[in-house]
Amino acid sequence: MTTTDVSTASPTAVADVLRIDAPRPTPPSWLSTSLSFGWRALLKIKHVPEQLFDVTMFPIMFTLMFTYLFGGALAGSTDAYVQFLIPGILVQTVVMITMYTGLTLNKDIEKGVFDRFRSLPIWRPAPLVGALFGDVVRYTIASIIVMVLGLILGFRPDGGLVGVVASIALLLLFSFSMSWIWTMFAMLMRTEQAVMGVSMFILFPLTFASNIFVDPATMPGWLQSFVNVNPISSLVTTIRGLMAGSLELDQLTLVLGWCAGFVVVFGPLTMRLYNRKS
């Protein structure tokens, strides 16, 4: 029907042609929208595979370096030390790469991509949650690499496959929750370098002033006080328990409390900054 025909047609005929009375399409759910943005994050890795360098080479480098540098001095042999180290180095490796969530988001903001996302009729936090979903895949890859290398070096978890899988699942949950901190910094900082600088300033004390590498009993009293309340220490203790088959429920509860705290505190702060971002 031509334009002239429409102008002279009855209202019913016009509605049939233009379908103005058709039902509105169902909006996508929060989950499907978030997964779509997660898939976008994975496609970026597909087109720029160098982004996987931090989750492939860093885990191998950290594990080998700390095993053979500190193993003989701290435990008398690398074989003995690797049983203590692998759960801790697994946590350090994955937690350290969570900061790249903030770097990636900050880059999208600088390019103006997020301005276009906010104009879409979708669940408001979907771009942020989707980016975190995509990073969970990166964390999983890093975790598998550390565990495979640990097994090659002689690590033998008494908790078996169930303990290892449960440990990785808990680590992924903790990393997802902690990543909300870096999304907040991505909204606050003007450049990627600033986000990285602040992230490293926070992560280095958390990971090195913990029970990842040595028993806190060998540390000065003032340092032990910090280590004992450090969330990374609680996570490492819980994962060591899961892998050893001797889980302490109070430690697991504490770690889950930290996860909930990160999301409850930094999630709303991030969304407030995201909504006000110009």
pLDDT of residue 170: 96
pLDDT of residue 264: 96
- The answer to whether position 39 is within a domain reads yes
| C-alpha distance across the termini of the chain, in Å | 45
pLDDT of residue 4: 46
- The answer to whether position 11 is within a domain reads no
Q: If you write DSSP's letter for every residue of 150-202 in order, what string do you get? A: HHHHT---TTHHHHHHHHHHHHHHHHHHHHHHHHHHHHH-SSHHHHHHHHHHH
pLDDT of residue 25: 67
- The answer to whether position 229 is within a domain reads yes
- The answer to whether position 270 is within a domain reads yes
pLDDT (tens digit, 0 to 9) for every residue of the chain, 278 residues total?
444 454 555 555 545 555 555 566 677 787 888 888 888 888 877 777 776 777 788 888 888 888 888 887 777 788 888 999 999 999 999 999 898 888 888 888 888 777 788 778 888 888 888 888 888 888 999 999 999 999 999 999 999 999 999 999 999 999 999 999 999 998 898 888 899 899 999 999 999 999 999 889 888 999 999 999 999 999 999 999 999 988 889 999 999 999 999 999 999 999 888 877 65
- The answer to whether position 228 is within a domain reads yes
**How many structural domains compose the chain?**
1
- The answer to whether position 95 is within a domain reads yes
Q: What is the pTM of this model?
A: 0.83
Q: Domain range holding 40?
A: 27-276
- The answer to whether position 1 is within a domain reads no
- The answer to whether position 207 is within a domain reads yes
CA atoms within 13 A on the CB side of 175: 31
10 Å CB burial of residue 65 (0-12, 13-18, 19+) is exposed
Query: H helices within the chain, ranges in order?
Result: 3-8, 11-18, 30-47, 53-75, 78-97, 99-111, 113-118, 126-153, 160-188, 192-208, 221-229, 231-244, 249-276
pLDDT tens, position by position, 207-253: 999 999 988 988 899 999 999 999 999 999 999 999 998 888 999 99
